[in-house]
Structure 1
């Protein structure tokens, strides 16, 4: 944290809070931590709680070092005349009445991620994209840490839910030195960003969270905040192979741009060339490691290129970089091999709760090689509708067409399973064996029963499935089998 951190007006370094009355939306763990943090700087802090929450039952969480933190119902935001800024919860959609009223009152908008980027004492690296954020953040953090950088990564504290939270905020508040921060940033974070990271990485962009943002253009605009506020000395690292990134993120920041390409389509940058991860520069090609040496799932290679581009920019030794790339095996819930049950190999891609993400995982397997479990809820616990826009539905059709090529057996569950079954039928193609199950657990058990010994079972929901429930069930299933 900077000494006497500049606090809240919008300045070149983002939204600042000193001497203002700040409002914080929500009473979850992150909101409570943010209230405590801002109470050291703001003139006054008020937490806005849901109507069904009794003030007396939550007030104890906000008592801190003699500094008063008030709480009021969310509906009373319009009655708070002297507020200057609203810190928005990650679970609050852009169309929420609290956001609308804050804007109509002229309040500035910020959030916890914006606070971390603004108040970090050292350089910051932000990672966004429709897929690959967590993998890139985790791998880059590991590369820098093993290169003796003093680094804090948002994946140090949690992989799901993604991005920075209470633990990272506490970490920067308790340190007086200057660590590097590597922070995963979703569109939910980026919607209210007023500070861009020193280095911004964009892995890709495709339709997601359409119900949340209202349109693909609004979703893209939120993502663009990663680079909008960069300064002349900052760096943007961009996926040249993704047309959305290439066309809509180029030139957003005021600093340099570095590109990576798994297709080798650039003359300068990090590429796949002649079967190697390599750096092309000034006509030369510096090979780092062979693709055949990599242990990560193949659809993670573009994420590895992004991390490599930043590592080279920061002077990481080639030997250290090569060792990290070759040793990386991927992350849990991202086409991760869990083990065997009754001789059936189980692959967990339960992070694929979007047709395009699920498609990327599916395409890493050979044709006619899989038993696939798909389905889930049409709405997340936060109320966001899944696969609701025409663009997402077009991606679902692509997933279903690939599913017909890759799977011998398909087991579907919940309402999402109904949608997938209908989309499969609409292709007009001959279907493999398709069965239905009541819920996720029953679907996995049915898939194991249907699979032959030595088969591969891929769990790829496409729709919403609670990550923690999924993880615990699969861990128990594998544990009992071994």
Structure 2
């Protein structure tokens, strides 16, 4: 039996439904066709166009729209759900025990060590750095998961000498019943509550990264995050635990050439390095990797200077906590552009923190959360002493920032909210911000205030 054959043997003979035909669903269908040729299975999606995709044409598949698939759930032995499909509001009628996902099967059957990385924020940078460290050490390394590469996409390339770094979102962890050999948990803030229904449900999904770890496994987690500690007390597994603080945990490593900005990024880097120690990677290799690592886009990304003002793109920011660490990471931020999709998260603490930021003089507020935040900043309980501008679009926000930010200071775009009210995702939002700054540098952007009062 080859190292990769346990998963096909587990799947063989089962009546399988692949639910959701995004990147992960297509990778599941490809794996079933490759390793179990001729075995029929079914696919489901809410989009008729996805069901008629050309890559499915030659496969032995039954196609169901989502409503029909829900009625047929009792017919299946295994339901492989895509991460983005919410099940909280769906009537699974006792079929939830059949629901699994790529992450679950990958963690159960991977023929090599898997390092899982999760956290509300910082997981992509941490996972990317850890993969970079492993590659710098000459390991055959694969970076998969929430970073954009489905785990099954690399299945045929794995062998016992491989190392897999798997970024795991709460969506991916929701239905896993296995945990990675090395788990790394960066932080825990309220997020995705519209999907999970409550912070407790969200935290419970995140904790699955450690829940089934044994005494042979390792868990790296932040010493100073009480929410993570509380959750680990409830269902943290039995792994060897390594709490971390930051660079002070690694006195042999010089962080002075580490390019990502902010203490939070250095703290996440320390977590990645501690995980690498469990793999036996020497300090000299880790130092080389720290020095050569390139920051990921849309994360405190220097975007250019306009009229002597430095602009930074932090479009990855989707919760207030991420905007606050971004403010702390940059010197002399005089202008903050903030706002996005409103999922009902409390903003009172965020407003107080912004009012207490001594350098901040201008806050430019975008729909939808900008309306609530602006009302709080104007309220008697907060008393923000700077200027507030309510704008409808990112174009207007950039025009206002150019007009209002003094030369020699910084303007930070850190929305503290998701992008889905106006953009496909945070990357599209960040790309748009980049393009607006590029145009402004070329003199194509007219200067002046444009906005509305709520």
Q: Does the alignment reach a TM-score above 0.5?
A: yes
* CA displacement at 1:147 relative to structure 2: 1.1
- The 1:165/1:87 distance shift into structure 2, 3 A limit, reads farther
Q: Is the 8 A contact 2:188 2:228 kept in 1?
A: yes
- The 1:70/1:187 distance shift into structure 2, 3 A limit, reads same
* CA displacement at 1:188 relative to structure 2: 0.8
Alpha-carbon distance in 1 for matches of 2:258, 2:96: 52
SS for the counterpart of 2:311 is: strand
Residue number among 55, 64, 67 corresponding to 1:72 in the alignment: 64
* Structure 2 counterpart of 1:58: 52
Report whether the alignment pairs 1:258 with 2:242: yes
Report whether the alignment pairs 1:341 with 2:335: no
Report whether the alignment pairs 1:434 with 2:388: yes
Alpha-carbon distance in 1 for matches of 2:108, 2:299: 31
* CA displacement at 1:291 relative to structure 2: 4.9
Alpha-carbon distance in 1 for matches of 2:287, 2:73: 56
Q: Is the 8 A contact 2:4 2:158 kept in 1?
A: no
CA RMSD of aligned residues (A): 2.6
Cα distance per residue 1:66-90 (max 9 Å; x no partner): x401111211222354301212222
Alpha-carbon distance in 2 for matches of 1:428, 1:106: 46
Q: Is the 8 A contact 1:25 1:31 kept in 2?
A: yes
Residue number among 334, 339, 355 corresponding to 1:375 in the alignment: 339
* Structure 2 counterpart of 1:476: 435
Matched pairs, number: 429
Alpha-carbon distance in 2 for matches of 1:214, 1:394: 21
Report whether the alignment pairs 1:416 with 2:369: yes
* Structure 2 counterpart of 1:148: 138
* Structure 2 counterpart of 1:163: 147
Q: Is the 8 A contact 2:112 2:158 kept in 1?
A: no
* Structure 2 counterpart of 1:49: 45
Q: Is the 8 A contact 1:131 1:204 kept in 2?
A: yes
Report whether the alignment pairs 1:323 with 2:288: yes
**Structure whose residues are more often strand by fraction:** 1
Report the TM-score when normalising by structure 1.
0.82
SS for the counterpart of 2:368 is: helix
Q: Unaligned 5+ residue runs, structure 2? A: 443-454
Q: Is the 8 A contact 1:355 1:399 kept in 2?
A: no
* Structure 1 counterpart of 2:6: 5
Cα distance per residue 1:316-348 (max 9 Å; x no partner): 221221232244463221112122123221111
* CA displacement at 1:306 relative to structure 2: 0.5
* CA displacement at 1:189 relative to structure 2: 0.8
Equivalent residues in 2 for 1:11-160, closer than 5 Å: 16-39=10-33, 40-41=35-36, 43-50=39-46, 53=48, 58=52, 60-64=54-58, 67-76=59-68, 77-97=70-90, 100-101=91-92, 104-105=94-95, 107-154=97-144
* CA displacement at 1:135 relative to structure 2: 1.2
Alpha-carbon distance in 2 for matches of 1:142, 1:328: 7
- The 1:334/1:18 distance shift into structure 2, 3 A limit, reads same
Q: Is the 8 A contact 2:4 2:156 kept in 1?
A: no
SS for the counterpart of 1:462 is: coil
- The 1:114/1:401 distance shift into structure 2, 3 A limit, reads farther
Cα distance per residue 1:239-263 (max 9 Å; x no partner): 111112223225722331222113x
Report the TM-score when normalising by structure 2.
0.86
Q: Is the 8 A contact 1:154 1:183 kept in 2?
A: yes
Q: Is the 8 A contact 2:212 2:237 kept in 1?
A: yes
* CA displacement at 1:472 relative to structure 2: 2.6
* CA displacement at 1:398 relative to structure 2: 4.7
Alpha-carbon distance in 1 for matches of 2:348, 2:173: 25
* Structure 1 counterpart of 2:445: none
- The 1:406/1:192 distance shift into structure 2, 3 A limit, reads farther
Q: Is the 8 A contact 1:113 1:164 kept in 2?
A: no
- The 1:313/1:189 distance shift into structure 2, 3 A limit, reads same
Q: Is the 8 A contact 1:86 1:107 kept in 2?
A: no
Alpha-carbon distance in 1 for matches of 2:383, 2:115: 46
Alpha-carbon distance in 2 for matches of 1:399, 1:428: 9
* Structure 1 counterpart of 2:451: none
